[in-house]
């Protein structure tokens, strides 16, 4: 029997459903609700937290980022494309790599401390591996032609999100921690887990009550329980919430349009923080289009290269 249970609240749609489930089951008042303020949150999310507190008669504990996103981006670098890509680039940058072409053995001799990231750069993880740079078409060719002139990193997630909840749990021990991850949402976050439950990880159990919910299950639950989501969904038309304008988001351009229209101050802030990454991503996308026209396709280019 658990004595203290923490529930990670994000203000997003899945989190709303999880909160509702936990609130209904919490007959003994063992649950604490915790939200991490990354420093780059929609006003609509902050308003929604107040709505949830009022609706359920609960307190949502606000925790601060260990390093807010703006600070972390300044110190370590900006997110670019995906967590994996940003991590490898950051490792190469930290060893002064000049983003040139070359064989793995030759480069590894010159940068012996960057061997792992060089394996990514040189496609040494094996044919078709998702760990190779080839997984992102034209990225290597683009970076050789346009080496990044700003720091790239995935660290803001660590200091503004991941480690924040860990720190909270360390300071306020719980037996069970819950998050609103769903397998059907896909992506690295969902595929990191095999099931809805892990026993005794970091001194507590972890439960993901929505893990097996498909989109239609979620819709049915929300209808039955009259769940109302934040204005991010109902007025802005966003499909997901979270850090505003994160460059890892595939639809960040669409998100930026929405932010500019609905939260102009936030629009200014995200452009100040992630501006280099947005510009570099746009340049990369344009490069992809041009190379596709020139070579027909990336696959055609690769087979030509092998001949």
Only segment of 13-21, 89-97, 133-141, 152-160 that touches ligand SF4 (CB under 6 A): 152-160
Q: Is 270 in the site for ligand SF4 (CB under 6 A)?
A: no
Q: Is 31 or 273 the residue whose CB approaches ligand SF4 more closely?
A: 273
> Which residues inside 52-71 make contact with ligand SF4, applying CB under 6 A?
69
Maximum separation of any 2 CA atoms in the chain, in Å: 69
Question: 111 vs 159, which CB is nearer to ligand SF4?
Answer: 159
Are the beta carbons of 100 and 111 closer than 8 angstroms? no
Among residues 117 and 269, whose Cβ is nearest to ligand SF4?
A: 269
Which lies closer to ligand SF4 via its Cβ, residue 81 or residue 107?
81
Report if residue 12 touches ligand SF4, rule: CB under 6 A: no
Q: How far apart are CA 106 and CA 301, in angstroms?
A: 24
Indicate which single residue of 85, 160, 164, 178 sits in contact with ligand SF4 (rule: CB under 6 A).
160
> How big is the site for ligand SF4, counted in residues (CB under 6 A)?
11
Which listed residue (243, 259, 266, 291) binds ligand SF4 by CB under 6 A?
Answer: 243
- Pick 209 or 245: Cβ nearer ligand SF4: 245
- List the beta strands (DSSP E) in 10-142: 31-37, 60-64
* Nearest distance from C-beta of residue 302 to ligand SF4, angstroms: 30
Under the binding rule (CB under 6 A), the answer on residue 238 touching ligand SF4 is no
Find the binder of ligand SF4 among 44, 92, 107, 246 (CB under 6 A): 246
Is residue 38 at the binding interface for ligand SF4, with CB under 6 A as the rule? yes
**What SS3 class is residue 71?**
helix
CA triple 78-149-299, angle to 5 deg: 85
Which listed range, 106-114, 154-162, 212-220, 229-237, lies at the site for ligand SF4 (CB under 6 A)? 154-162
Beta strands of 14-151 (E only): which ranges? 31-37, 60-64
User: Residue 274 and residue 35: Cα distance in Å, rounded?
Assistant: 23
CB of 256 to ligand SF4, least distance (A): 13
**At its nearest, how many Å lie between ligand SF4 and the CB of residue 304?**
36
Strands (E), 38-138: 60-64
Question: Which two structure tokens, joined as six digits, stand for 285?
Answer: 């996308």
In Å, how far are 59, 66, 67, 68 from 163, measured between CA atoms?
22, 8, 10, 12
Beta-ladder partners of 61: 34
CA 186 to CA 128: how far, in whole Å? 20
Neighbours of 248 (CB within 10 A): 21
Cβ closer to ligand SF4: 233 or 274?
Answer: 274
Considering only 157, 164, 210, 259, the residue that binds ligand SF4 (CB under 6 A) is: 157
Among residues 256, 2, 97, 157, the alpha carbon closest in space to that of 89 is found at 97
CB 100 within 8 A of CB 253: no
Query: Footprint of ligand SF4 on residues 77-136 (CB under 6 A)?
Result: 79
User: What's the rounded Cα separation, in Å, for the pair 37 and 78?
Assistant: 18
Binding site for ligand SF4 (CB under 6 A): 38, 69, 79, 156-157, 160-161, 242-243, 246, 248
């Amino acid at each position: 029997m658990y004595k203290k249970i923490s529930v990670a609240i994000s203000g997003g749609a899945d989190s709303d459903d999880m909160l509702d489930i936990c609130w209904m089951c919490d007959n003994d008042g063992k649950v604490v609700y915790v939200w991490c303020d990354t420093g780059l949150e929609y006003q609509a999310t902050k308003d929604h937290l107040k709505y949830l507190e009022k609706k359920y008669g609960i307190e949502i504990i606000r925790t601060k980022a260990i390093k807010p996103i703006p600070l972390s981006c300044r110190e370590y670098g900006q997110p670019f494309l995906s967590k994996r890509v940003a991590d490898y680039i950051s490792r190469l940058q930290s060893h002064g790599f000049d983003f040139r072409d070359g064989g793995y053995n030759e480069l590894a001799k010159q940068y012996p401390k960057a061997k792992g990231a060089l394996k990514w750069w040189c496609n040494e993880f094996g044919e078709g591996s998702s760990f190779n740079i080839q997984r992102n078409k034209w990225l290597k060719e683009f970076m050789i032609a346009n080496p990044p002139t700003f720091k790239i990193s995935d660290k803001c997630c660590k200091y503004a999100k991941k480690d924040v909840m860990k720190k909270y749990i360390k300071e306020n021990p719980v037996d069970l921690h819950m998050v609103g991850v769903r397998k059907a949402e896909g992506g690295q976050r969902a595929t990191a887990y095999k099931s809805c439950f892990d026993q005794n990880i970091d001194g507590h159990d972890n439960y993901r009550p929505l893990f097996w919910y498909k989109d239609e299950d979620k819709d049915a639950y929300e209808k039955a329980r009259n769940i109302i989501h934040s204005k991010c969904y109902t007025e802005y038309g966003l499909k997901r919430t979270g850090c505003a304008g994160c460059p890892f988001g595939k639809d960040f351009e669409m998100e930026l349009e929405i932010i500019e229209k609905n939260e102009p101050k936030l629009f200014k802030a995200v452009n100040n923080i992630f501006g280099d990454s947005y510009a570099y991503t746009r340049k990369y996308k344009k490069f992809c289009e041009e190379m596709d026209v020139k070579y027909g396709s990336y696959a055609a280019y690769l087979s030509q290269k092998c001949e």
